Structure 1
């Protein structure tokens, strides 16, 4: 027998993770969709003071209901999306990854099915695998827009208990219209939940609505968010969702005891107090994104319309070679999505200038796939 006695379906599987290189190896890091602008000294000081305030009581377990944080997150969602949610409709965990895993633990499992539509976030099948949930993937249109007829077919055939859809989609950046979300909620019905993953929602273009607006109409709708991206808080690991109170109650059953530490709660509350400052660069990043899309198209490349802080572009005859050439020049981006495509996060003006220069040197017109 092979050692260790691992579950058979996990043998030979590589752990998830984008390349994580030092700044010496890659001075320009544009591969994991981080906000390139770190917190100000005022935010740092508030986080430090907030953590110091709870440090003296770390011998006690934290508030397992994270009551103050749920209220602050509900207030933020009203501020950002104009949608009022009760704190009882808010749930949080250590990054939206843990939120998603808890959803699969609660609503997936043996004999149940989770569905998504490719290209989509590469962690979804791993959440399903880890929760012993069958995973089925449908397809999007060639231009990455959502194929509602395909969705109707997949839902009718597989009767999923969980539907997982990012909006804006990762890795394409495309957002879902309300019509699609509402129709999916009706198709799935009370036999499942529809999870709209809005990790990049703050970067959406003007006029693109949030799925939060549909919560009053669909009790099986779940909208997840994160503080890792627009809030520039990737290192703190705080994700959350808004849904019917009954869904939040269900997640209490599968959560680990006291899963949100007092330090995490204090850090997130401090960041929310500085929301205007931390989100202050979002408009600038949107502008950089739109300028990047235009520049890539001028070079004859295909580019997916993006409502996120990243851009998917292609198509290359050998994307691995282009990626390596960029890395050789100190620019790290991501090989992801359909064959022939690459994804670049939006950085500072200086980082984007470095990316453009590196890409010009990395590609010739004949390398772009017909």
Structure 2
């Protein structure tokens, strides 16, 4: 039996990880530390008997030390982060506080309990980061890898880059056993409606415009959240201490292609389920029209990176990782989940 501390475990990726881990490791103890900001939702992990939610801030070093010590926790999986680029542009302070100061607080607590007081007991600190720390790729440029130089372009990505460097420094300076994974764009169940796929889906259901930044041709590598959880599990089981693992979904697509696929998925869902027209009468699909009619173009976001792509070769070689979802199957599954779980997203929805 192992005891894990999952920070941000009531959020989107963290909550999916808690569900994933509980199903596959039923004997392990899961302590979820989450401050329950707007992006944290206890409903995401409701019903998981082995997961205990502790409402608290990762910047509270004394609290983290207490949890590690009293619960005999030997693994930290660190998801907790402010993660929305638009919010970081409007208010960068929260991103520095959570992503930089918060990560440092966790590292200090881990060092104190595991190394200074615990004599170097078996331990693992896994830090979840983003491909955005590497900046923007030009068309035809090779994908990001663990060797890519850091070049963050937004307050969000800059704060995550700083956190990455702190994790690396605590390994090289103090000997803390760490791994880092830099993931591409996640999608799937339990994602907050501020993100592109759930936002555009819920807009479509309510007949609200789909606001497309710039020309809609910004490219992202799309990673289903379950594939990401599987990769993190592999990092914990097979990862090499001190290494960084870029994790991609193998689905490099322009935003416009993602939006068109989403519109098609909504139209298809309404065509096969007549009850959807009764539940969402304002949707174009409820009136026999194409969801794509809602597409509209808006001014581009400041500092909007043009392209991200991930080379997951190290994860394939060291960990045996390979994504199991192709994008169409993953998107279809995600749309079905949101349609079947209105009780989860409705309290978060602001039309």
**Coarse TM-score class (shorter-chain normalised):** 0.3 to 0.5
State the TM-score, normalizing by the size of structure 1: 0.33
Return the structure number with greater relative CO, CA threshold 8 A, min gap 6. Answer: 1
State the TM-score, normalizing by the size of structure 2: 0.34
